[in-house]
Structure 1
Amino acid sequence: MKTKLYVLYGGKSVEHEVSLKTAVTVLHSIDESRYEVYPVYITREGLWCTPPGPIAKDELTIERLIATPTFSDPARSIGEILSGIMALPGPKVVLPLLHGPNGEDGTVQGLLELVNVPYVGNGVLSAALTLDKAMSKQVLAQAGINQTEYRVYRCEEWTTDEAAVLRKAEDAIGYPCYVKPASLGSSIGISRCTDRGELLTGIREAFSYDKKIVIEREVDGREIQVAVIGNERPQASLPGEFIHDHVFFDYESKYMDKRLTMQIPAKLAEGLTSRIRELAVRAYQAHGCEGLARVDFFLDGEGQLYLNEINALPGFTNFSMYPVMWERTNGTAYSALIEQLIGHAVARHQNKQTLQYTK
């Protein structure tokens, strides 16, 4: 019997489009001799539904994956999917391809835990920690992993006294600095600020996406990325970096600039590659990660490393850094990488079934 594979994509998130692009690539690569695939589209309003009829691989497009929900109430739409296709008998696994809030933050993971279905990627706690930059930084500090100077501000603090927040940020962080929504990815809502006017604008924009923001001191240097995979014994890939001339690697730079090139492995001083890989695994384990994550570092001109952030669901198209790093590390092809992640999901689920819930 084939394993039923439920692929979740879209989502109530500003990263909705990124998720759709990921889904097209992943669905193209699924081995249909092993998996019975069920695409599940989540609208921008959080409604769950399935595209009409089976979709042949040569018909896979973003437009084809978008569906119209039967119900206008999220609870009824989710219930329809859970009691319908996800209640079918036989082996099953869920592949969440949801970026940002309402998908990458532990919410969907909690639902899947309740219905006792194996799913790819991080669990509830690690998903929530890695998406929330403010909480992640506390975990990194506790683990003794170096990071740049930062401060966290909440919306209530800002609306009460804007001038005080500006003054505190300037005194503690200075310029240039970066303002970030605490729980978003793909560089959405992030601003590089060089003076008070830009800081004011950046804070207002960040608070339009989140009720909590992080302001960080800029590290002048390179951004080095590492792919990590596994459960109890995670492994780190060779480090990689994008070669570009952008002062700020924002959303448009990441997804629209056709001149971007990958350098894998990154050209690093002797011994630094192994150090970065070890730190990536340490950070992964400190957050309780399982399945996969991409760990991003800054490397300044003096060779000092700063951990920037952990992305629990990194970009996963076939030209994204995460899968390409594995292909250049050990030859793992894109489709084989998906198989590995599904295997880790099933193994984690089976391991949890051995737990005792009665005295």
Structure 2
Amino acid sequence: MNETTGPSPTQRTRVAVVFGGRSSEHAISCVTAGSVLSALDRDVYEVIPVGIAPDGRWVLEADDPERLRISGPGQLPAVDGDRPGVTLARTGAGAGLTISEPSAPPRALGEVDVVLPLLHGPWGEDGTIQGMLEMAGVRYVGAGVLASAVSMDKAYMKVVLAAAGLPVMESTTVTEREWRADPDAVLAGAAELGYPLFVKPARGGSSIGIGKAHDAEGLAEAIENALVHDPKILVEVSAEGGREVECGVLETLDGGVETSVPAEIRITGEHEFYDFAAKYLPEEHTELDVPARIPTEVTARMQELAARAFRAVGGEGLARVDFFLMPDGSLVVNELNTMPGFTPLSMFPRMWAASGLEYGALVDRLLRLALQRGTGLR
């Protein structure tokens, strides 16, 4: 394989499925990988599972989707960092994998045709691995360096979306340095937005570290909790009364963009918002409408805004765009995810299934998009 020709049509395409990572979303990345590994057609693809342990070690993981499932509350999967180490390095024409073990000399696994980086959060979804893959000259699924970085940082994402004329919620950014230096000033400034407020790690996901504050005491607690996950946080106006509706975006093989039917998430039980437990643990926490029960004209407007948001950040491959449908019928873009989850409960594959593109075909489409796209400036 090389950067311009891709794999021969007579051989299986070699896919390195990379998952895990150093972020707090490590377990969710593993769950996503388990679902994808189960879906890949082994007659078409030769699959190499590559795990990144929480400490950053790259290992050759077992091709065992069952081990990568959530088995219950507090029982989250993780990459086995004791497995043989693996490195990805530039070869003459592309990039190859090498296995290293303490008791044996390095062993080449051969070149890789395409990488499927199923990493969520910093050190994966934020442009870091995308930059490494660009340097190695290997194709990969999803957004490039800039789009990944901008979309990972909620503060900068809002700047880009607002500059493109897209509606976003009012917010302010707080750094850990500002909070430690003068917490009273931070609380006073944030309060000007008006309670209730949401506090989010600026570069986090999977609803980890998110809190809702109704007063100054709750805001201080939410800020401390969010800072555990990121030294930069976003304090945002709560979309009170807003319905959480999402829309999938997918590139077409001819360079166009298409959007899925929207889906709505309704929270039940004790959950005040779509937190980690509601998102990934047993489904009695949420009710999902796929497609969403919204007027046809709202669907059309949401799909148009989703495509505009995708273009605004320079998206490639796929994205999930999250909206608030406000009580007055207006739409506000909440965020854009360049590598949405592919777990059995994830909305992105559900929306595309409802749009006529089943899970296996969706994964295949993403790989074919990556294979026809070269690396480098484009």
Q: TM-score, normalised by structure 2?
A: 0.85
Matched, 1:263 2:277: no
Q: Give runs of aligned pairs for residues 283-322 of structure 1, distance below 5 A.
A: 283-322=309-348
Task: Determine if contact 2:168/2:334 at 8 Å carries over to the other structure.
Answer: yes
- Residue 142 of structure 1 deviates from its aligned partner by 0.2
CA shift digits 1:272-292 (9 cap, x unpaired): 110000000000000000011
Match of 2:72 in 1: none
Match among 182, 205, 212 for residue 185 of structure 1: 205
- Residue 226 of structure 1 deviates from its aligned partner by 0.2
Matched, 1:174 2:194: yes
Could you tell me which amino acid in structure 1 is paired with residue 50 of structure 2? V
Task: Determine if contact 2:14/2:48 at 8 Å carries over to the other structure.
Answer: yes
- Residue 24 of structure 1 deviates from its aligned partner by 0.9
- Residue 269 of structure 1 deviates from its aligned partner by 2.3
Match among 137, 144, 166 for residue 145 of structure 1: 166
Could you tell me which amino acid in structure 2 is paired with residue 159 of structure 1? R
Match of 2:266 in 1: 243
- C-alpha change, 1:325 and 1:167, in structure 2 (3 Å) is same
Match of 1:11 in 2: 21
Match of 1:213 in 2: 233
What is the distance in 2 between the residues matched to 1:252 and 1:24?
A: 19
Coordinate RMSD, CA, aligned: 2.3
Q: Number of aligned pairs?
A: 344
- C-alpha change, 1:347 and 1:11, in structure 2 (3 Å) is same
Match among 355, 364, 374 for residue 339 of structure 1: 364
Matched, 1:39 2:54: no
Task: Determine if contact 1:51/1:68 at 8 Å carries over to the other structure.
Answer: no
Task: Determine if contact 1:8/1:98 at 8 Å carries over to the other structure.
Answer: yes
Matched, 1:202 2:222: yes
What is the distance in 1 between the residues matched to 2:222 and 2:51?
A: 32
Task: Determine if contact 1:16/1:44 at 8 Å carries over to the other structure.
Answer: yes
- Residue 65 of structure 1 deviates from its aligned partner by 6.0
Matched, 1:66 2:92: no
SS in 1 for 2:208: coil
Task: Determine if contact 1:140/1:146 at 8 Å carries over to the other structure.
Answer: yes
Could you tell me which amino acid in structure 2 is paired with residue 121 of structure 1? G
SS in 2 for 1:271: helix
- C-alpha change, 1:45 and 1:194, in structure 2 (3 Å) is same
- Residue 83 of structure 1 deviates from its aligned partner by 4.7
Could you tell me which amino acid in structure 2 is paired with residue 252 of structure 1? A
What is the distance in 2 between the residues matched to 1:311 and 1:345?
A: 18
Match among 283, 289, 300 for residue 274 of structure 1: 300
Match of 2:141 in 1: 120
SS in 1 for 2:341: coil
- C-alpha change, 1:61 and 1:141, in structure 2 (3 Å) is closer
Structure with greater proportional strand content? 2
Q: TM-score, normalised by structure 1?
A: 0.90
Could you tell me which amino acid in structure 2 is paired with residue 235 of structure 1? E
- Residue 67 of structure 1 deviates from its aligned partner by 4.6
- Residue 255 of structure 1 deviates from its aligned partner by 1.2
Match of 2:32 in 1: 22
- C-alpha change, 1:87 and 1:268, in structure 2 (3 Å) is farther
Instruction: Using the aligned pairs only, state the percent identity.
Output: 42
- Residue 10 of structure 1 deviates from its aligned partner by 0.7
SS in 2 for 1:136: helix
SS in 1 for 2:283: coil
Task: Determine if contact 2:87/2:98 at 8 Å carries over to the other structure.
Answer: no
CA shift digits 1:170-210 (9 cap, x unpaired): 01x12100011100001111110001111001111112211
Match of 2:60 in 1: 50
- Residue 31 of structure 1 deviates from its aligned partner by 0.5
- C-alpha change, 1:213 and 1:263, in structure 2 (3 Å) is same
What is the distance in 1 between the residues matched to 2:163 and 2:320?
A: 20
| Structure 1: gaps (5+ residues) | none
SS in 1 for 2:140: coil
Match of 2:131 in 1: 110
What is the distance in 1 between the residues matched to 2:357 and 2:97?
A: 36
